Amino acid sequence: MSVDQQHLRMAEALLFAATEPLDTQTLEHRLPDGVDVPAVMAELAAQYDGHGVNLVKVAGRWAFRTAEDLAFLMKEEREVPRRLSRAGVETLAIIAYHQPITRAEIEEVRGVGLSKGTLDVLLESGWVRPRGRRRTPGRPVTYGVSDSFLIHFGLESIEDLPGVEELKAAGLLSATPPAGFANPTGAAAMPGVDDAGEETEEEDETEDEEDDDDGAETVGVVTSIGAADG
Percent of the chain with pLDDT over 70: 72
Residues in the chain: 230
Pick from 81, 78, 88: nearest CA to 122: 88
How far apart CA 105 and CA 117 sit, in angstroms, is: 17
- Cα-to-chain-centroid distance, residue 230: 27
How far apart CA 9 and CA 7 sit, in angstroms, is: 5
Phi-psi region of 73 (alpha: psi -120 to 50; beta: other; left: phi over 0): alpha
The structural domains of the chain, with segments of one domain joined by +, span: 5-72, 78-224
Q: Is residue 142 within 8 Å of 101, Cβ to Cβ?
A: yes
Q: What is the longest distance spanned by two Cα atoms in the chain?
A: 94
- Cα-to-chain-centroid distance, residue 91: 19
Q: Respond yes or no on whether the N-terminal peptide bond of residue 178 is cis (omega within 30° of 0).
A: no
Instruction: Name 219's bridge partners.
Output: 82
pLDDT band for 179, please (50, 70, 90 cuts).
low
Tell whether the torsion through CA atoms of 84, 90, 91 and 94 is positive or negative: positive
Dump pLDDT digits (tens) for 16-55: 999 899 999 999 999 998 899 999 999 999 999 989 999 9
What is 5-72's CATH topology? Arc Repressor Mutant, subunit A (1.10.10)
- pLDDT of residue 119 exceeding 80, the answer is yes
Dump pLDDT digits (tens) for 97-106: 888 888 888 8
Two domains, one topology: 5-72 and 78-224 = yes
Region 118-137: what's the mean pLDDT?
87
What is 78-224's CATH topology? Arc Repressor Mutant, subunit A (1.10.10)
Q: Is residue 105 within 8 Å of 170, Cβ to Cβ?
A: no
Tell me the angle at which helices 116-125 and 86-98 cross, rounded to the nearest 10 degrees.
70
- pLDDT of residue 200 exceeding 70, the answer is no
Dump pLDDT digits (tens) for 49-81: 989 999 998 888 999 999 988 888 888 887 777
Question: E strands, 8-160, where?
Answer: 53-58, 61-66, 75-83, 101-102, 128-133, 141-145
